[in-house]
Amino acid sequence: MKPFDYERANDPEAAVTAVADRPGARFLAGGTNLVDHLKLGVAAPDLLVDIGRLELAEIEDLDDGGLRIGAMVRNSDLAADPRVRRGYPMLSRALLSGASGQLRNAATTGGNLLQRTRCVYFQDTTTPCNKREPGSGCSAIGGYTRYHAILGASEDCIATHPSDMAVALAALDATVVVLGAEGRKRIPVDELHRLPGSEPHRDTVLEHADLITAVELPAPVGSERSTYRKIRDRASYAFALVSVAAVLDLDSRGPAPTIAAARIALGGVAHAPWRARRAEEVLTGAPATREVFRRAAAAELEQARPVRGNEFKVPMAQGALVTVLSELAGLPPEQHDDPHPEGPAASEGADHE
Ligand SMILES: Cc1cc2nc3c(=O)[nH]c(=O)nc-3n(C[C@H](O)[C@H](O)[C@H](O)COP(=O)(O)OP(=O)(O)OC[C@H]3O[C@@H](n4cnc5c(N)ncnc54)[C@H](O)[C@@H]3O)c2cc1C
Ligand code: SF4
């Protein structure tokens, strides 16, 4: 491991200044991702600015009925908060479906959003990887692709973003609050992560010294139903092959319920949480039937471009979307709705440890 300097920041402004002054500096939050990367040689900062003591660990009520989640709020505290469990149960489920109890006790809201891909080649410094070393090539293309992207990938990178929480936040229309060298800015979660294009080394739109200080959630809508479903190779301690975060607002005033609004994000399928706008368009104003849900899922997955070894994700994502929407609409289950009945485990995010 390359030697590095270490500083503890006392306030957010000082943290930003310390990182802005050194191109090789990085923020250190819970360390559950970054410290692994130091040991693996994937990251080699010359300064770590520890933000662990910043007063950013509160969850506060907003005047408009929403919530502000400090960047240092631990994943376990966020999942257990009564306001989150009551108003945003999908977010609790997504958090509890990630990592393990011990990791969630250390992992933070900001760090979770900015964790890096779990592509095996990215983490193996003996292999070419455009994300780790721009211009070196992509070992995943033509290699092991089970956890890789089917949507929005490029010829330079087919990695996926690993965070469960980010997928739920994208469907909740959350906003990231950032303090940078030029001042404060607000970024919709949906616009935080980039698709890889020709610059896969850039995961997000953030600048070098940008510090996430909070994530804000809009007020929950009482009539909405939501859930998070994660399909993975084991029931615990595994990243998503495919996940679905969905919010449905049903209008039940007529003889048959119609969909007043739908917000959907997919995980495990792209370099960013994938907001399923095409599916949302099909759903909005349509009757809440399985036939409509199938059409919506087909419209979204029509743009999928799987590579050899991850073709299975296309029907898996379609099936998961139809199953989740059917459940939210209260339709009776259909046997073939299950996207992978005897294969990978699907869960609502319960902690099975
Ligand atoms: C074995 C294992 C299994 C896991 N399984 C899952 C899973 O199933 N689902 C899932 O979602 N996650 C999973 N994780 C990932 C885990 O959730 C992340 O490692 C964790 O959320 C990162 O948070 P952290 O606070 O430890 O970040 P750190 O490791 O401290 O930082 C991560 C990155 O974010 C930057 N950073 C941190 N905070 C800020 C901030 N406020 N502003 C700007 N930059 C910041 C750091 O500089 C660094 O680049 C797993 C991890 C492990 C080790
Ligand atoms: S998919 Fe992306 S992260 Fe993985 S080897 Fe290719 S360039 Fe690297």
The closest-lying atom of ligand 2 relative to the alpha carbon of residue 127 is 5
Q: From residue 229, how far is each of 63, 246, 279, 339 by CA, in Å?
A: 31, 9, 17, 11
Residues linked to residue 256 through DSSP beta bridges, in sequence order: none
Check: CB of residue 28 under 8 Å from CB of residue 47: no
Task: Pick the residue whose CA is nearest to atom 43 on ligand 1.
Answer: 211
pTM: predicted TM-score of the whole model, two decimal places? 0.96
Residues linked to residue 5 through DSSP beta bridges, in sequence order: 47
Residue in 295, 330, 296 with CA at minimum distance from that of residue 225: 330
Task: Pick the residue whose CA is nearest to atom 19 on ligand 1.
Answer: 33
Q: Render 168-182 in DSSP notation, one character per residue.
A: HHHHTT-EEEEEETT
Q: Is 30 in the pocket of ligand 1 (CB under 6 A)?
A: yes
Joined tokens for residue 13: 């402004």
Q: Is 138 in the pocket of ligand 2 (CB under 6 A)?
A: yes
Q: What is the pLDDT along the chain (353 residues), one digit of tens a residue?
A: 889 999 999 999 999 999 999 999 999 999 999 999 999 999 999 999 999 999 999 999 999 999 999 999 999 999 999 999 999 999 999 999 999 999 999 999 999 999 999 999 999 999 999 999 999 999 999 999 999 999 999 999 999 999 999 999 999 999 999 999 999 999 999 999 999 999 999 999 999 999 999 999 999 988 899 999 999 999 888 999 999 999 999 999 988 899 999 999 999 999 999 999 999 999 999 999 999 999 999 999 999 999 999 999 999 999 999 999 999 999 998 866 555 544 566 655 443 32
CA 77, 204, 28 angle in degrees (round to 5)? 50
Q: Is 158 in the pocket of ligand 1 (CB under 6 A)?
A: no
Question: Residue 49: what pLDDT?
Answer: 98
Q: Is 108 in the pocket of ligand 1 (CB under 6 A)?
A: yes
d(Cα 62, Cα 87) in Å, to the nearest integer?
A: 13
d(Cα 335, Cα 319) in Å, to the nearest integer?
A: 11
Question: Residue 236: what pLDDT?
Answer: 82
- For residue 211, give the 3-state DSSP assignment: strand
Question: Residue 75: what pLDDT?
Answer: 98
How many other C-beta atoms lie within 10 A of the C-beta of residue 65?
12
Question: Residue 351: what pLDDT?
Answer: 35
- Count each helix (H run) and each strand (E run) in the chain, helices first: 11, 13
Q: Is 114 in the pocket of ligand 1 (CB under 6 A)?
A: yes
Question: Residue 349: what pLDDT?
Answer: 46
Residues 6+ apart with CB under 8 A from 275: 170, 171, 190, 263, 264, 265
Q: Is 149 in the pocket of ligand 2 (CB under 6 A)?
A: no
Cα 99 to ligand 2 centroid, rounded to whole Å = 22
